[in-house]
Amino acid sequence: MLSVVLTRSVRTTLPTMRQEKWFARIGPWMTNMQLVRDRRAWFVAGILAVIGIGTYLWWGRQSALPGRESALYQEYQRAFQVGVAALDAGRPEIAKPNLERAVAMIPDEPAGWANLAILSLHNNDFKEAAKHLKRARDLAPHNPALESLMGQLAEKQGRQADAIGHYRKALEARPHDTALLFTLASAVSREGGEGTEAEYQRLLEQILKQQPNNLRVLLKRGLVAFQRKDQAAFEETMERLARLAPEWIPPSPDEPGAKKRLGDVREAAAKAPRDVPHLLALLENILKQERSYKADSAAITAPESAPIYAFMRLAPPRNMPALPDRDLTFRVESLMFEVLEDKTHWNVVRPVWRIGELERKRLKETGDKGGHTIRPADTFKLTIFLANAREVRRADDKSVKLSFPGGPNAVAPSAAGVLPIDLDNDYRTDVVLAGAGGLRFWQQQPDGTYADVTAETKLPKKILDDDYYGAWAADLDMDGDLDIIAARRSGAPVMLRNNRAGHEFPTFTAMEPFAGVRDVRGFVWADLDNDGAPDAVLLDTAGKLHPFVNERHTQFTAWPLPDTAGKFLAATAADVNDDGVFDLVALRADGGLVRISDQDKRKSWQVADLAKCTVPADAAPGNHTLFVEDLDNNGTLDLAVAGPTSAHVFLADEKGKFSLPVIDVAVGAAMLFDVHQDGRLDFLGLVDDPKSDARQLHRALNIGKKNYRWHTIWPLAHPLADNRINTYAIGGEIEIRAGMLVQKQPIHGPVVHFGLGEQLGADVARIVWPNGAPQWEFDMPGFRFLPVVQRLTGSCPFLFTYDGTGMRFAGDCMWGTPLGMFVNGQNIGEFPQTTEWLKIPGAHLVPRDGYYDVRVHACLWETDYFDQVALIVADHPANTELHVDERFFLTPTPPRLHVTTPARPVASALDHHGKDATEEIRAIDGRYLDRAARSRFQGVVEDHWVEIDLGDDAPREGPVLLVARGWLQPTNSSINTALAQGKHAMPQPLSLEVPDGKGGWKVALPALGFPAGKDKTMLIRLDDLGEPSPVSGRVTRRFRLRTSMAIYWDFLGYATELDPKLAQLQRPAPSAAELRYRGILQITKKNQSSPEIPVYDNVMPRGQTWRDLTGFYTRFGDVTELLAKVDDRYVIMNAGDEIALRFPVSDGPAAGMKRDFIWECDGWTRDGDLNTRFGNSVLPLPAHGVKTDDRPPGRLHDDPVYRRFPRDWQTYHTRYVTSEAFALGLRNFRR
């Protein structure tokens, strides 16, 4: 463009001969005018030159950016998208290097710099954020997303006026962005000053033009209109709310409800105007529980510092599913195995993946933390089972021959008659057979053969010998093992609850949890309402589907479909409408394929047509199988219907519609399987032999022209975990994101397959294990099998103290009050002793700017209720030590102070094998005594002991205390529930045994409790125990500590107890107590013998890591009043919350004294374990002296604690939290 402008300028300034003569005649007159025009010409030429140069540089720069097909673009896209996914998931250690790599590759793309700025904002590094934002704005000076980020930075720096200016600029480019309008309105309101109320109201009204029924905006508009005395706007707002009121939650006997509160507001406006703001606040608190309020709030709330997902200058990546492979075909060919040469007629094909014995041994012995070292081709072996009315054979091993229970009439098995299942979580696939002759259980042996273990199940003969149609696997009680749903051919289905028993094959207990259902022909297990617990759907012989809501604890409630739903032949579960919630996909008797979806948390069902299939007129429920998989790998789910003689494939197009021609596949009784591990799902099925009655094994190979990428993920339960997860995580779910392409699938077998289309790979995968715990895996390249091994989780709030260099982990607390916890199979629910002490060594808490800095952090899947906290300053003589007994004791034991002589290590220690263990327990050094073999359950080990000799130097007369420091790996509700089933040895609490005088041992102190968490000290009196009979004051010098709990000792020593009055105690009142959000902390673990320790400075600052318990939490800000005393007025904390406390520094210590501290807290905690009673709700609210968990949650206004302190829910507990952000998963960018 510049060269064109200059050429034209030269041509118009070179005169012709005729022009020269003409200029000579009029020259004198033109001289002055020419000077003026020359100046103008040069001015215009200059402007044009600048524009031209700028355009040239821009065009050159733009044209220099790589195109989509270039290797540089694809490498940048990969780094950028992984960085964004990690930023979204709150994983800065992954986000930062990827984003830095991206901007190094293509520095002229602003989005990379913007995301680095966002990462800096998360870390409150405003200087770096400003630097990166400047770089981004230089490249895209008018981008509204960057203006909005500039506004967020300015607000964080306290520059409110600048922030408003940036938001206004962003709004100029996006005038209809309701979230941006609300952000600006909120900023204007916070700034205050003349005219701000009017502008605030005007901005709210702009939102209401687009969302006229937005409850949150209506309430805010009503308040500001009232404050501005805008009567017309106030009344109009009240009228709108009144029209919405009939849809609100109805009132309860003790709470008049939102509709009545709205009437109170209108009445107060006329009679008591000063009450209106307070009454509007009450109304909003009630409405926060409405689903419509939550949806309305989400619609106008922009996530703070959300990543930039799209490129600003580069060509946008292809984020839609790829075009379908229209040339996809299935080539049918026979599979020849020696065992099949006899031309037998088979009825059922079951392909199974088996883990090789070497890999199984490695997993069992050491675990695998990352999974990427496993090579599936070497590890997972394809096995094909074939069944008929008399036998089950392995196609690849003629030595494996199992008898099928076809009964005296040799009834052929149904498609559900052969169930591959790992019943004992040993990484070997067992087989359950269900037929007319009953149930048979076959256990896989190390050599690959199978042994009949039916008798070991201990099931009654009546159950074992009944007539069954089929069987399915699901963890119905969610305790970590797979149960069986066995469908009687005529009668109610029976649940066979798996009672795992150590290393033996499990026993089973028969139950009937599905009331009113008979003659079942199909079963589906998936979370259809997205509440974290899989639901059950049963198909009966009449073709009726029976959904059941999973209420947890093996309680299922009918959730009926509308009567007009129709008659069905088959059903499965998948996310076919791409909204992140699993739908039922069902085949009607008329051939219609339909989607059946939950609407508004079980308020109704939505039924939508998907496709049409031809089915035989005599088709019966159960003889067709539905598959929802990505068969062409284009990134969207396809449908397959497998019938007795043929299969039909419905490919989805790039928009998820099933509009393409049906692909018919000439194999019957087919199953989908990646036979060659090449990323293409093939059919394995049966084809009639025209020359005989035989029905032989065939495969239909998936052949297409599009070489799209794919992932196959193998979710494996961690062999050293808590046994809350079955081997292949069946019942869990996996969601992947590649750019903007998101897919979610249930885990219904060992492998989960994803098509990626043209995406390079999955940026992130989120696995939600069957126990509810999430796990993220990043940067997973395409064309790969990727085993993913479960990682470990834990619970309880964490205490941190300032030690002069940073915040130091001081311990976990509130171990003694786990609400809803099942202990030894029973729910305690009542904790008379709620006050807990924890010692803080003086070196771990030092003054910081004149105060002691103490912080308590809720990090894990829990809700914490802190009623009172205190810091006790304890000065004691320098030659003494201060201790508190930090153990969990079921017997109420008020905490007390112990002053002792310095603790000395014991002379010797022997483990339960008689081997020396003195070195491990000689000093507090983080080396733990770990000699006991672990069981199948976390927190339970073999019966073991440590035999202790105090030595000749130990005092002979008391009082002498054993100072035992160590940590406990706990069980949890799900493990304790599993332990209560079958014949399991319950974990035995710690006991102290002494010699019995006959060469043996006797119990002197039973049920001593256990260390309450990580690195805790137990104090045990050693005098008056008896050796072999008690002598007053005599110290027992030889004894042993015995337990089957997973207790790992760090130090065992002894000390003489002194007068506790030697300690001078002070209880300074906190000068500040602020509740704030900090984020989820990274947890580290040195080795298998060590506890998991949180790292304070490694924070995941945003997002919802856990499926948070739903309810009202304390708002952020000052909470001093709530923590002052034990009175059932408490701080309610969610995961990621932190209470930051400041205690004034007391005088002292005096000469000859040294200072330690005691942390005191009183309260409760409730975790989100699927078997914790009411583990998905903040309610019921705990109270002292009340057996809280006897009453179900109900409604807040009916809760006794609320009714005692209702104003706390107006002043403090106004933050309503749901699990919806977690449920959104990797789709949060779609808000």
In this prediction, residue 400 carries a pLDDT of 87
On the 0-12 / 13-18 / 19+ scale of CB atoms within 10 A, 979 is buried
Place of tokens 């974290």: 532
Please list the helix, strand and coil fractions of the chain in percent, rounded to the nearest 5, in that order.
25, 35, 40
Spans of all domains in the chain: 2-64, 71-300, 348-412+416-512, 714-792, 798-1222
Q: Poorest-confidence range of 332-341, 676-685, 1022-1031?
A: 1022-1031
Banded model confidence at residue 1220, pLDDT cuts 50, 70, 90: confident
Position 29 confidence tier, pLDDT thresholds 50, 70, 90: very low
Q: Reduce the DSSP state of residue 1175 to 3 states and report it.
A: coil
Tens-digit pLDDT profile for residues 605-661 = 999 999 999 999 999 999 999 999 999 999 999 999 999 999 999 999 999 999 999
The pLDDT tens digits for 422-436 are 998 888 999 999 999
Contact of 325 with 704, CB cutoff 8 Å: yes
Question: What sign does the CA torsion over 1044, 1047, 1051, 1052 have?
Answer: negative
The set of long-range contacts for 489-493, using a CB threshold of 8 Å and a minimum separation of 24, is 489/436, 489/519, 490/518, 490/519, 491/466, 491/518, 491/519, 492/517, 492/518, 493/517, 493/520, 493/523, 493/538
Percent of the chain scored above 90 by pLDDT? 67
- Examine the pLDDT at 892 and tell me if it is beyond 90: no
Q: Is the pLDDT of residue 782 over 70?
A: no
- Residue 63 is predicted with a pLDDT of 52
Helices (H), 1094-1166: none
Alpha-helical regions (H) of 245-308: 257-271, 276-287, 291-300
846-873 pLDDT, tens digit per residue, is 999 999 999 999 998 999 999 999 999 9
- The larger pLDDT score, comparing residue 539 to residue 1082, is at 539
CATH assignment of 71-300? 1.25.40.10
Q: What does the pLDDT average to over 297-309?
A: 87
For residues 1039 and 831, give the distance between their C-alpha atoms in angstroms, rounded to a whole number: 31
Q: How far is it, in rounded angstroms, from Cα 988 to Cα 964?
A: 18
User: Contact at 8 Å (CB) between 993 and 1071?
Assistant: no
98-118 tens-digit pLDDT? 999 999 999 999 999 999 999
pLDDT of res. 370: 41
Query: For the segment 1143-1178, what is each residue's pLDDT rounded down to a tens digit?
Result: 999 888 999 999 999 999 999 999 988 888 888 999
Question: Across the chain, what does the average pLDDT equal?
Answer: 88
Q: Higher pLDDT residue, 448 or 529?
A: 529
Helices (H), 400-534: 461-464
Through-space distance between the first and last CA atoms of the chain, rounded to whole angstroms: 43
**Model pLDDT for residues 265-282, shown as the tens digit of each residue:** 999 999 999 999 999 999
Over residues 509-538, the mean pLDDT reads 97
Rounded to two decimals, the pTM is: 0.87
Residues 6+ apart with CB under 8 A from 506: 423, 424, 457, 481, 498, 499, 500, 982
Residues 333 and 699: their CA atoms lie apart, in Å, by 6
> Is 320's pLDDT higher than 50?
yes
pLDDT band at 1227 (very low <50, low <70, confident <90, very high): confident
Residue 556 sits at φ, ψ, to 5 deg, of: -125, 135
Q: Is the dihedral of CA 564, 568, 574, 577 positive or negative?
A: negative
The pLDDT of residue 42: 52
Q: Where are the beta strands (DSSP E) in 183-275?
A: none
Task: Using the predicted structure, report yes or no on whether residue 598 has a pLDDT greater than 80.
Answer: yes
Q: Is the pLDDT of residue 48 over 60?
A: no
Tokens 């017309």 correspond to: 232
511 pLDDT more than 70: yes
Name, in order, each residue with C-beta under 8 angstroms of 479's C-beta and a sequence gap of 6 or more.
724, 974, 975, 977, 978, 981, 1171
* DSSP states along 1097-1112: EEEE-SS--S-PPBEE
For residues 306-314, average pLDDT: 93
**Cα–Cα–Cα angle for 575, 578, 581, nearest 5°?**
50
Residue 285 has pLDDT above 80, yes or no: yes
As a whole number of angstroms, the distance between CA 192 and CA 186 comes to 10
Amino acid at 255: E
Determine phi and psi for 1130, rounding to 5 degrees: -130, 165
Q: What pLDDT, on the 0 to 100 scale, is given for residue 12?
A: 32
Cβ(1178)–Cβ(1109) below 8 Å:
yes
